[in-house]
Amino acid sequence: MFKKILIANRGEIALRVIRACRELGIRTVAIHSDVDAKSLHVRYADEHVCVGPAEGGLSYRNIPNVLSSAEITGVDAIHPGYGFLAENAHFAEVCESIGITFIGPSSEHIALLSDKSKARAHMKKRGIPVLPGSEGEIHDLKEGLVIAKRLGFPVIVKASAGGGGRGMRVVWEESELLQALESSQLEAQNAFGHGGVYIERFFEDPRHIEFQVLADHYGHVVHFHERDCSIQRRYQKVLEESPSPALDDALRRKMGQAAVEAIKSVKYRNAGTVEFLLDQKGRFYFMEVNTRIQVEHPVTEMVTGIDLIKEQIRVAAGQELPYRQKDIHLTGHAIECRINAECPDKLTPSPGTVTKFHLPGGPGIRVDTAMDINGVVHPYYDSMIAKLIGYGRDRQEAMARVRRALDEFEIEGIKTSIPLHRRILDNPDFQKGPVSTRFLDRLLTLHST
């Protein structure tokens, strides 16, 4: 087992990893920018190193500074969390070359699966259902028009690299394609350093279903069942739950088997997430593999009772998975609300100093956060400040506990998305169960009229 791990991240995920390490008896090193020097993850780590100024590219994504910190403090491994360097194949490769374990998949797997057009082609060859689309990247308008007409409008233009909804444009008719291609390519180039895009058929009312997977170095692969991530805006997830109200046992088994096959087909190792779109007729299609731990991993932990961060660390240290698929069971229901520092009506960022911070509690409630009283929400980073997770014996109890916790959650000094989550939980369509990825857009439109 590792003796010391550097956490190449900040905020709640850095604190989450530190807690897992402490329970495993592993010392930790926190990195931080100059504005994060007093952050909770810095205070709770055994050691800390400043890696640069506030802007992420000069600090948390500064590979030379992060690796220098690792070498100076003598760590055995680096946990990247999510975001920043978590899906950076070059960073993982450099870690491998200098003998520091990257807690995640190999650089080869990150490179293959982070290129969505290549990943689609690979899965299609393996017989895994893939959304109809281009065979590779689109290089000009003429090529794009041929494919779009073959697929039939609407289509969606997607960046080959990256994620988080960047470089994605829905095209409803032929006249919109050129602008969509150009704007997607530009946004992808600026965000990910690669402007490649591809085209898929666009489904107007799908559900977004993902399966958490874990693979060790001995060829064992298991999934931890599904998360439903359909509540999202601009392709960014807002609320997640497990299990999905849209899946029965037969479909759950079928999708889970496809997720495991996708991971086995590339001889993947460590944690990952296989994402699917599910249409109204119960047909599912592979979208992508996220080669890291997900923001929403707590809902899976709540319904399976398995600490995914600890398992990541154990697998990276060369340990064999202690269970097989038959050992992993769904128990109860969990819902996660991403609490963001933003205006709940305009959905614009709301940075500033927190003047009051009271966490909810009681049966079935978990809050993952690195915020505390007098904490500062900086404009340089993601606006998420907490994850509120509610667990119940069934979906109804989980929803009731989350509603109660949202009412108890007090944050002052900044605006937050708490009122938005109340509207979601109070909506009759959400309460009934299956809703599509367009649910939230419709809810926000209705609220603004």
Which residues are identified as catalytic?
292
Where is 226: in which H helix or E strand? strand 221-233
Which stretches within 331-416 are classed as H helix? 395-408
Cβ atoms within 10 Å of 383's Cβ, excluding its own: 20
User: How far apart are alpha carbons 365 and 367 in whole angstroms?
Assistant: 7
Give the pair of three-digit tokens for residue 300: 């899976």
Q: How far apart are CA 113 and CA 82, in angstroms?
A: 15
Helix axes 395-408, 418-426, angle to 10 degrees: 150
Please report, as a single letter, which amino acid is at residue 289. V
Instruction: Give the integer Cα–Cα distance in Å for 190 and 167.
Output: 10
**353 has which bridge partners?**
376
Nearest alpha carbon to residue 405 among 368, 371, 355: 368
| Phi, psi for residue 270 in degrees, rounded to 5 | 75, -165
Report the helix count and the strand count for the chain, using DSSP H and E: 15, 20
Cis peptide before 154 (omega within 30 of 0): yes
